[in-house]
Amino acid sequence: MSDTGAQESAFSWRDLFSEATIALTTRPARTVLTALGTILGVAALVATLGLAKTAGNQIVSHFDELEATSVVVRPPRGQGRNPNQQDVSAIPFDAGDRLERLNGVVAAGTKSDVSTGHALARSVPLIDPLGQTELQVSVIAASPGLFAAVRTELASGRTFDSGHNDRRDNVAVLGPGAARRLNVTRVDNSPAVFIGDVTLAVIGIIDDVAREPELLNAIIIPDGFARERFGLEAPAEVHIEVDVGAAELIGSQAAIALAPNDPDNLRVSLPSAPRQVRSSVQSDVNALFLVLGAISLLVGAIGIANVTLVSVLERTGEIGLRRALGATRRHVATQFLFESAALGAFAGLLGTSLGILTVVAVSANRDWIPIIDTWLPFVAPILGAVIGLLAGTYPAWKASATEPIAALRSGG
Amino acid sequence: MVDASRPVVELFGVARTFPGTPPVEALRPTDLTIADGEYLAIAGPSGSGKSTLLHILGLLDQPTSGVYRLDGVDTEDFNERQLAGFRSSRIGFVFQSFHLLAHRTAVENVMLAEIYRPGSRSQRRERAVTALDNVGLGHRLHSFPTTLSGGERQRVAVARALVGEPSLLLADEPTGNLDSGTSAQMLDLFDQLHRTGITLAVITHDDQVSARAERQIRMMDGRLTEAAGSLS
């Protein structure tokens, strides 16, 4: 019986784990209440990050498609608006063809308002004194590429092509509003509309356009015909549909392609980054919620520290007993640290679940697809454990500093 | 029954001074030998240094000077883990206020005695059951302390102290929280343990308790006095 150093005391992981489990489960209500602050803090963080991600994705998928693929080129303000003005825009009539050669352009076409003098539009050549058959309908000259550039969907018939344009054919495509007002419902019977003394053969009726809704109420005629009969000097603007992500590039190239001698004389409108505006607003809101989450985590940590400290005082007798039974100061500290870390991890797990549930519930309510970063459900419980560990540091030190003698005499 | 040739405890000039102005000499240089199987009582009023001696004997505190040998091993140069290990394997404690954990059954409380002992996990429950059988509580294994009487609780505490067969059983005011009838049963249990060869040191202020021991020591102002009629 004279062996010495061999019998150092030990505290196995299994025992540590089961002791902590017993300590936390003997008073379940208290454990949950202690963890409540941390649960809510982690839940708030997870929900904020998850909802930001989810909402951000919804907005992007709604917005971008149309906005980010549209580039418009115009002459500087006050120029080329009125084709009868001497001030002629620098946009050439073959703008569509020039731009469609650029990589990244899906479709491009010119669009100009046409001045018809004071001529009114009508769909029958007769003048009926009893009914109003003459209407003020706007006339727009377009190059064939415009229809694709504004994503036209046809109700019937067809759009005009470069052949019509080159031949300066007197054809027209009607917007649905214009068609209704002019009582043109079908194109298979070769209807015609009249603007003053100009006769136009209607070859198609539009159902809808994604951009430039003024086309819906207009009579659209080829550039070539507008030049010949209505004195159109130059196109007023060019609409370009680009590939997603190509807007910046095309924006920098379009003016040079259209007016190599004087690119500065053209104004290029890029999709005006509404996304950046929105995301900065959103990041402000996010920051606010993250700060709130962090504050509730801090409160949660203080809660854990507080209750753990109280339980150290309550368990003074137990600490003394454990010391007498062979626990070192380090064993006692380890046990309390492990308990508070386990409590924090439990709170983190519960908070993560609550946060994810919140994201799913809000998404279901808004018909969104819930999106959560994959690292979040793993990192959040670890965050909880770290908070528990930090919160338990002082109580654990306090427990380890307990004098076993005094503790054992304290009763209980 | 007492084997004087094999001392369990040997104190040579052991003293404990607590720092302060002036320093408190809680235990003046003391020599004490407790033989294997001996039943010793240390009596004295409060403030006499009993608890200081208890802590030194129980390896919860180390003397400021002198040599303490337990089972022939000099504990002077032990680090904290070695002290704790010795405490765990060689000393059993019984306290005045029992110190049973309220949310654990009797057998779980006894099993607690071994969680700081290396490599003792297997058959921990069996050993705890045996220890409870030995103190006559085999029928209350799964009772919680709140449902046990004071005497039963103290017997659970004794079982916890005895599991793993320590060299020395240290009892600090074991009957302090018990009524006289239960105290008598407790002392009977100590007699019984003594007969099985356990080395027993009881610290008490109660002369009736110390009278039951085969050797009595009185403590006064940090000094030990061997009472007349006891051994050595």
Per DSSP, the residues of A368-398 read PPP---TTHHHHHHHHHHHHHHHHHHHHHHH
Chain B: closest CA distance from residue A327 (Å):
6
CA distance A321 to A303: 27
pLDDT at A64: 60
pLDDT at A248: 83
* Contact check, Cβ <8 Å, A1/B88: no
Contact B177, B97 (CB under 8 A): yes
The type of residue at B213 is A
Interface-testing mutation among B68, B73, B87, with chain A (most A C-beta atoms within 10 A): B87
Q: How many CB atoms neighbour CB A240 within 10 A? A: 28
Contact A121, A136 (CB under 8 A): yes
Q: Which of A77-91, A130-144, B84-98, B138-152 has the lowest mean pLDDT?
A: A77-91
The values of phi and psi at residue B162, to 5°, are: -90, -20
Which residues on chain A place their C-beta less than 8 Å from a C-beta of chain B?
1-5, 7-12, 14-15, 19, 22, 26, 317-318, 320-331, 404-405, 408-412
Residue where the block lists tokens 């993560």? A352
Structure token digits, residue B40: 């010793």
CA distances from A164 to A148, A154, A216, A226 (A): 16, 18, 21, 12
CA distance A198 to A219: 13
CA distance A374 to B43: 68
Structure token digits, residue B133: 């059988």
Q: Which chain B positions have a beta carbon within 8 Å of A408's beta carbon?
A: 93, 95, 97, 99, 172
Complex ipTM: 0.90
Structure token digits, residue B118: 């290396």
Neighbouring residues of A120: CB distance < 8 A, sequence distance ≥ 6: A134, A135, A136, A137, A195, A196
Structure token digits, residue A120: 């009114």
A10 vs B80, B118, B167: nearest CB: B118
pLDDT at A4: 45
pLDDT at A279: 60
Per DSSP, chain A holds a count of helices (H) and strands (E) of 13, 11
Contact A52, A281 (CB under 8 A): no
A327 vs B84, B86, B119: nearest CB: B84
Which residues on chain B place their C-beta less than 8 Å from a C-beta of chain A?
51, 54-55, 58, 60-61, 71-73, 78, 80-82, 84-89, 93, 95-97, 99, 101, 103-104, 112-113, 115-119, 121, 167, 172
A364 burial (CB, 10 Å; 0-12 / 13-18 / 19+) is exposed
Is the pLDDT higher at B4 or at A236? A236
**Which pTM value belongs to this model?**
0.66
A328 vs B51, B84, B172: nearest CB: B84
Residues comprising chain A, all counted: 412
Is the pLDDT higher at B21 or at B13? B13
Interface-testing mutation among A3, A8, A19, with chain B (most B C-beta atoms within 10 A): A8
* Contact check, Cβ <8 Å, A12/B121: yes
* Contact check, Cβ <8 Å, B87/A412: no
Structure token digits, residue A42: 């982690």
Residue B28 has pLDDT above 70, yes or no: yes
Whether omega for the bond prior to residue B22 falls within 30 degrees of 0, making it cis, is yes
pLDDT at B109: 94
Taking each helix axis from N to C end, the angle separating A28-67 and A13-25, rounded to the nearest 10 degrees, works out to 90
pLDDT at A128: 66
CA distance A12 to B119: 9
HSE value, Cβ hemisphere, 13 Å, CA-based, for A407: 22
Average pLDDT over residues B51-59: 89
CA distance A172 to A159: 8
pLDDT at A384: 92
Structure token digits, residue B129: 């059951």
CA distances from A347 to A172, A294, A373, A374 (A): 69, 14, 20, 19
pLDDT at A80: 46
Query: Can you say whether residue B37 is alpha, beta or left, with left for phi > 0 and alpha for psi between -120 and 50 degrees?
Result: left
∠A344-A345-A347 over CA atoms, to 5°?
65
Show the low-confidence residues of chain A (pLDDT under 50): 1-6, 79-86, 277, 412
Contact A338, A22 (CB under 8 A): no
Under 8 Å CB pairs connecting chains A and B tally to 107
pLDDT at A14: 87
* Contact check, Cβ <8 Å, B115/A15: yes
Contact A211, A165 (CB under 8 A): no
